[in-house]
Amino acid sequence: MVNFSRQSHNAVVKWLWTVDKVTLFVSLALLIIGIILDVTASPAVARKIHLDDFALVRKQAQFAVLAIGIILGMSLFSLKTIRRISIVGFLVLLFLLALTLPFGVEIKGARRWLYFVGFSLQPSELMKPIFIVLTAWLLERGKKLDYFQGQVFAIAAYLSVVGLLLLQPDIGMTLLITAVFGLQLFLAGLPWFIVGAGVIGGIMSLFLLYFTYPHFRARVDQFLYGSDETSFQINQAMAAFQNGNLVGKGPGEGTVKLTIPDAHTDFVFAVAGEEYGVWLCLVIILLFSIIVIRTLKLSMKESNLFVMYAEVGLAASLGVQAFVNMASSLHIIPTKGMTLPFISYGGSSLLGTALEVGMLLAITRKTRRRKIRICTDD
């Protein structure tokens, strides 16, 4: 008979006692919301590409099952295993990122996807959590070991990833990774004058990106001056929120999914607002806020620097990406082709988010287990 006490040596029982159940259930709730919205938003897209109405829904449901497996599987691993996965995963995904340049299929002027038999993969979505955990470990080693130049190796890893992303180009992922890595460097004790120089350099880089990448410039111009196709999408999204009002028009009754090509991905938040109303939008914001705030609170009590850097990085990544997607749908910031984690359609995005949350659960699980041991000893 299985012993379900805290003193049990069974791996599954230990997991049940130590996993952050709030973050786990909130993540699953977001995943379920994503499937529900996919049922209403994807059929219109499927018809345009001559598939049956629920072909994309079935595909996303398959990825959802795989995502749940990744979340649960990753959450079982030890800190040592998570570190090893980040090292091996970084090397593999860096290679795949390089392969997108000569072999990736070009979509809307960017080569971000590798096509295999029966499915496509966007390596940058998986690279994001792997990179965050790797740099957290490198920075922690640099703080603990005088002979180990952790910051140098972390910066080298950052430059290699960002260099490949800019060649694709993927400006949104570049800015996201840069922001998260900058936060990690700040936590690792980067001097204030370097932080200031980094902020100034970041602002100058935005101007450089504006004059270097026409696609980036077009989106900024659209946000500032209006007009063109993107303005049409934003206008439709804003109308969708107005039409939905507080309680929505009802499941399947919205029209924004019929007029915006990317309604099931970049503008899925507008679909939620039109068909289910402001209340669902607020629920989505609340669920993401719970994960981010809860993780940041845990990190403030953490003495293990690797765990703290990883927790903050993963939480910031999830929160910033969610904010960018929702804020662009609400015309608060320029539109950016960035998915809403767990909710937007897309296998790579969903699996990348699952990997992110699975690693987060594994890292916070170790934190919670130490607390339980202290309580038991007392």
CA distances from 365 to 79, 122, 145, 180 (A): 9, 29, 26, 22
DSSP 8-state class, residue 107: E
Q: What average pLDDT does range 304-324 have in this prediction?
A: 95
Q: What average pLDDT does range 191-199 have in this prediction?
A: 74
Q: Is residue 12 assigned to a domain?
A: no
Nearest alpha-carbon partner for 180 in 361, 337, 333, 319: 319
Q: Is residue 256 assigned to a domain?
A: yes
Q: Is residue 373 assigned to a domain?
A: no
Identify the pLDDT of residue 226.
64
CA distances from 16 to 2, 8, 29, 160, 373 (A): 13, 11, 18, 38, 15
- Going by pLDDT thresholds of 50, 70 and 90, the confidence category of residue 208 is confident
Own/partner contacts of 298-301, CB < 8 Å, gap of 24 or more, are: 298/20, 298/364, 298/367, 301/367
**What is the residue range of 317's domain?**
81-347
Check pLDDT > 70 for residue 107: yes
Cα–Cα dist 213/220, whole Å: 11
3-state secondary structure 108-177: CCEEEEEEECCEEECHHHHHHHHHHHHHHHHHHHHHHCCCCCHHHHHHHHHHHHHHHHHHCCCHHHHHHH
Chain centroid, CA 192 distance in Å: 28
Cα–Cα dist 374/9, whole Å: 17
| Cβ neighbours for 278, distance < 8 A, ≥ 6 positions apart | 241, 244, 245, 246
What are 119's two structure tokens? 């499915």
Nearest alpha-carbon partner for 326 in 338, 314, 312: 338
Asked if 351 and 125 count as a contact pair (C-beta separation under 8 A), the reply is yes
Tens of pLDDT, residue by residue over 16-61, are 888 999 999 999 999 999 999 999 888 888 888 888 888 999 999 9
Identify the pLDDT of residue 60.
93
Asked if 334 and 220 count as a contact pair (C-beta separation under 8 A), the reply is yes
* Number of compact structural domains in the chain: 1
Check pLDDT > 60 for residue 161: yes
Q: Is residue 197 assigned to a domain?
A: yes
More confident residue, 47 or 95: 95
Q: Is residue 148 assigned to a domain?
A: yes
Q: Is residue 2 assigned to a domain?
A: no
Asked if 172 and 328 count as a contact pair (C-beta separation under 8 A), the reply is no
What is the pLDDT of the chain when averaged over all its residues? 87
Cα–Cα dist 96/226, whole Å: 37
Check pLDDT > 60 for residue 368: no
The residue with tokens 């002979």 is 147
Most confident region among 97-101, 112-116, 187-191, 260-264 by mean pLDDT: 97-101
What are 240's two structure tokens? 């969708």
More confident residue, 52 or 224: 52
Q: What average pLDDT does range 165-186 have in this prediction?
A: 91
Q: Is residue 367 assigned to a domain?
A: no
Report H helices in the chain.
11-18, 21-48, 55-75, 79-103, 123-144, 150-167, 171-187, 192-212, 214-225, 228-244, 256-259, 268-276, 278-300, 305-329, 347-377
Element (H, E) at 303: none
Q: Is residue 74 assigned to a domain?
A: no
The residue with tokens 């068909």 is 275
